[in-house]
């Protein structure tokens, strides 16, 4: 049984003294308010903090560019030609993949479209895409635009919400090609059994399952392996948007068996605003010449890439989906952060994350479960570090007061405050202080 002393500032400070990862907090810059005090930062699920090594990492490439010009491709301290491969092993460990299954390129939504070009291959019989009803808007837009790309007649483009489209020699309702799987009435999170039932019932018509993991709004983490196994048994391709998973919790993408995954690096991976994104393509697709894709010269075999006149010969693995040469100044901050992940390891981060988020949950429950509803699943295996809160009877004015108190968190319409105690740089004391300020604002 928990005692009152375990909900005090002194207890939080004791937890920090016992934390083997406490030292890493000092390796990140922290936002400062107008009074010179550190904000309580709970927003790593939206933008991660800047590692103190980031500036030097970027400066190194600027110096090499200044001194070497184009020769930096071969003579820079970190030669630019193979630069993206310097990050590959560490990134693969973060997402649980083999190195050749991972590539850093473009931005998340661009990569999602590139993956659907290859892995969404609709036919008249199998054309449906499954997405969660409360998916991140960009994912919905990408899915809907892919459906239109595969058959919407230009003459009815302006009335797409009621459109019927002609494709594959017969008409079908655009709305019926996108399946939004919803929670049960009165619930917020999805049930795995409902996903499995949908696969069983409509599997012969589903071409692609594409789910966010964790979901950006609820923070729910889905069992990728179980979903993929059931989908593959029905001949369905599976992909995941892991924007809120990469760097947050182990993903085990290779062992999950999913066909592809995409993620950004500006949230838990601390790559900076608008940072370059990541893509996973399972190794079973590495040498599939029948798989269509949009192609560019950096996806061409590196041994003959500068022959310039050769027909496209894809690189092995995920590298084949690259279109352009890597943006060095965008990769440098990600590399600086990944070196920290390499040092700490996802297992240690996950261990602290479970304790830190569990501690936050305990403190919130002390404020009264009749006042604060945590919509994120309670079970650690069904979430990362984010907790999504609904405060009974409150509106955005509560969040505004919380912000004015020196807390940086995240508001999502219509009534959710997202809070993410990120294990690399959030302390138990900071979690305690967040809850105290929330209590005062309530």
Instruction: Measure the CA–CA gap between 240 and 122, rounded to whole angstroms.
Output: 18
Burial of 201: CB neighbours in 10 Å, binned 0-12, 13-18, 19+: exposed
Which H/E stretch holds residue 280?
strand 277-281
pLDDT > 70 fraction of the chain, expressed in percent and rounded: 93
342: which 2 tokens? 């390499």
List strands edge to edge, sheet with 178-181: 102-105, 277-281, 260-263, 237-241, 206-212, 128-132, 178-181
Specify the pLDDT at position 5.
65
Residue 163, pLDDT above cutoff 60: no
Distance in angstroms (rounded) separating the CA atoms of residues 54 and 312 = 36
| Residue 262 and residue 115 in contact, taking contact as beta carbons nearer than 8 Å | yes
Give percent above pLDDT 90 in the chain: 80
Mean pLDDT in the chain?
A: 91
Minimum mean pLDDT range among 28-37, 88-97, 145-154, 208-217? 145-154
Q: What is the pLDDT of residue 314?
A: 78
| Range name among 202-216, 280-294, 328-342 with the lowest pLDDT average | 280-294
> What pTM, to 2 d.p., does this model score?
0.91
């Amino acid at each position: 049984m928990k005692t009152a002393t375990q909900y005090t500032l002194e207890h939080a400070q004791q937890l920090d003294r016992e934390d083997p990862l406490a030292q890493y907090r000092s390796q990140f810059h922290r936002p400062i308010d107008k009074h010179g005090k550190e904000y309580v930062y709970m927003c790593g699920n939206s933008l991660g903090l800047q590692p103190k090594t980031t500036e030097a990492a970027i400066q190194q490439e600027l110096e090499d560019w200044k001194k070497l010009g184009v020769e930096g491709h071969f003579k820079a301290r970190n030669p630019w030609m193979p630069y993206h491969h310097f990050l590959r092993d560490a990134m693969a460990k973060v997402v649980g993949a083999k190195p050749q299954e991972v590539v850093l390129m473009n931005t998340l939504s661009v990569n999602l479209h590139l993956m659907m070009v290859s892995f969404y291959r609709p036919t008249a019989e199998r054309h449906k895409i499954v997405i969660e009803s409360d998916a991140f808007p960009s994912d919905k837009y990408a899915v809907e635009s892919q459906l239109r790309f595969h058959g919407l007649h230009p003459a009815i483009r302006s009335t797409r919400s009621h459109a019927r489209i002609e494709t594959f020699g017969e008409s079908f309702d655009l709305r019926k090609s996108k399946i939004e799987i919803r929670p049960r009435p009165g619930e917020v999170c999805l049930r795995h059994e409902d996903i499995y039932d949908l696969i069983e019932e409509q599997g012969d018509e589903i071409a692609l399952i594409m789910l966010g993991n964790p979901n950006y709004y609820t923070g729910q983490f889905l069992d990728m392996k179980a979903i993929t196994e059931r989908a593959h048994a029905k001949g369905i391709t599976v992909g995941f948007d892991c924007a809120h998973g990469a760097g947050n919790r182990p993903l085990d993408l290779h062992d999950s068996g999913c066909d592809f995954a995409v993620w950004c690096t500006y949230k838990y991976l601390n790559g900076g605003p608008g940072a370059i994104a990541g893509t996973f393509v399972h190794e079973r697709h590495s040498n599939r010449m029948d798989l269509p894709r949009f192609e560019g010269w950096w996806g061409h075999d590196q041994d003959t890439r500068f022959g310039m006149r050769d027909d496209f010969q894809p690189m092995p693995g995920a590298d084949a989906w690259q279109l352009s040469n890597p943006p060095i100044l965008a990769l440098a901050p990600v590399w600086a952060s990944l070196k920290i992940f390499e040092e700490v390891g996802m297992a240690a981060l996950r261990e602290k994350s479970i304790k830190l988020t569990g501690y936050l949950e305990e403190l919130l429950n002390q404020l009264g479960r009749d006042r604060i509803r945590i919509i994120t699943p309670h079970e650690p295996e069904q979430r990362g570090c984010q907790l999504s809160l609904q405060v009974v009877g409150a509106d955005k004015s509560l969040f505004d007061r919380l912000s004015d108190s020196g807390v940086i968190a995240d508001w999502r319409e219509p009534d959710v405050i997202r809070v993410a105690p990120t294990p690399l740089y959030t302390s138990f004391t900071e979690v305690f202080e967040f809850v105290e300020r929330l209590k005062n604002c309530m």
